[in-house]
Chains A and B, each alone.
Chain A
Amino acid sequence: MEKDRKYEFSWDLLGDMEQGRPNLGPLARLEVYRLMQFCFRDVIEKAYGSEEADRIFYEAGYLAGRHFYANLIGPLQDLNDFVAKLQNLLKELKIGILRVEEADLERGHFVITVSEDLDCSGLPEKDFEFCTYDEGFIAALMESFTGKKFVVKEVDCWCTGDRTCRFSAQAVS
């Protein structure tokens, strides 16, 4: 099965922007990104159901988070360095504004918020949290930094009427 794969992710798939887009550059409108993501969601949900669609997006976020950490952040030892670097990167890449509410490395418990989130800020109100991709992404970042497995749950989301997305991350043994 693994041998037959066509789309296994690697960082070089992001491409050489300077060579590939000498005139347009690396930036595109956020709506285009959302158009793709939400059409993926739609099709995946229709094919596999809501729960499975959420799981797939969590896993995709997790994969992205692992590569993001390996290529742009780590390895780091100090929590403050990790938080500062992550905050700067998320802001610089316009992914969102990260803030920390709780950071207990010993208990493996973190509460963070992301404002102006790439995926959901400005969306119409729904009855459910939306950022499953972000959950996986954050879980992979935490795991890459601490070496412990993390489960991340979005507890507040723009889509449930909140102006900021709040995530609870807990290390699991």
Chain B
Amino acid sequence: MDERTRLILSAFAHGRLPTGIPDDCLYAEELKALSEYLTGCYRFAIDISNGDLSNNYVGLRGMLAGSLKTLHANLRHLTWQTKQISQGDLTQRIDFLGEFSSSFNCMVESLDEACTALLHVSTHDSLTGLYNRGYFDAELLRVAGGRCFPISIIVVDLNGLKEVNDSRGHEAGDQLIKLAAAVLKGAFRGDDVVARIGGDEFAVIMPAAAEEVVQATMARVQQLVNENNALSLALGYAVAKTRHELKKSISLADERMYEDKRRQKGAAKSSGQKSPGPCKTESLQSNPPLSRL
């Protein structure tokens, strides 16, 4: 072997890339090809280490380049997954980067938990655990665009809250609100949207619920109210058969709730009581007959 070839091979053996390979040295063609291949792999590795994943060196083949391509493919997939996560897809998990995978997955799980907690806070009423006004409005919009008609809307007002707050303090008032929430939660179906939409106001969306379904539910509410002497509710409902009737049904349910409240006040007056309120169990069956929309 000539000295020049020996020096070139020695450079390769020490991990260096020879700068020039003379045409007339031994195995010049093979050494040039090796140098070119290793240079390609070196550039690929540098690109990856610099975070430049734009070039995947398609023409570069063989096991060394193949290993770099695997790393490159993994990092590109990781990039895509991270973009997915940034767009709210928290189901992404990785399983191909060793310890980094478990740390990354822990991070996404924490993010998921935080998002779930935040979502719960932003959609629920902290006192009662029922849905809040914002969620109720959003659900109303969502069901309006869906196919689950007829939809029943129920508006509920808790009688006598102010009196309880004034006479027994806000803690007692809060207990009364919680009791009303528990009664409503127990009376409606799991998929119904039971929300606290104001201080003493509640509203419910019952998808796919016609007149007879809502009437049966009102009877359940009535029964539960009867079982709780501390509670008095004014209720109104209306049924929307199409999305065009939905807005009107909310107003109608509201009007009917006030009618019920007035009726209860009238009944209380004639029986010598001050007003419908807690410790009073007016029969909700005496609700005026509610005509369909």
Contacts and interface: CB of A to CB of B under 8 A. Distances in A.
Interface residues of B, number: 22
Contacts, number: 61
Interface residues of A, number: 21
Contacts of A162: 61, 65-66, 69-70
**A interface SS class:** strand
Contact of A101 (B64, B70, B77): B77
Nearest to B57: A156
**B interface SS class:** helix
B65 A161 contact: yes
B1 interface: no
A162 B64 CA distance: 8
A144 interface: no
B58 interface: yes
Interface of A: 80, 84, 97, 99-103, 111, 113, 115, 125, 155-156, 158, 160-164, 166
25 contacts: A80-B89, A80-B91, A97-B96, A99-B77, A99-B80, A99-B96, A100-B80, A100-B81, A101-B73, A101-B79, A101-B80, A103-B80, A115-B73, A115-B96, A125-B63, A155-B56, A156-B66, A160-B66, A161-B63, A161-B66, A162-B61, A162-B66, A163-B66, A164-B69, A164-B73
B84 interface: yes
A156 B56 contact: yes
Given A113-B73, A115-B96, A162-B70, 16 more contacts: A80-B89, A97-B96, A99-B77, A100-B81, A111-B76, A115-B70, A115-B73, A125-B62, A125-B63, A155-B56, A158-B66, A161-B61, A161-B65, A162-B61, A163-B67, A164-B73
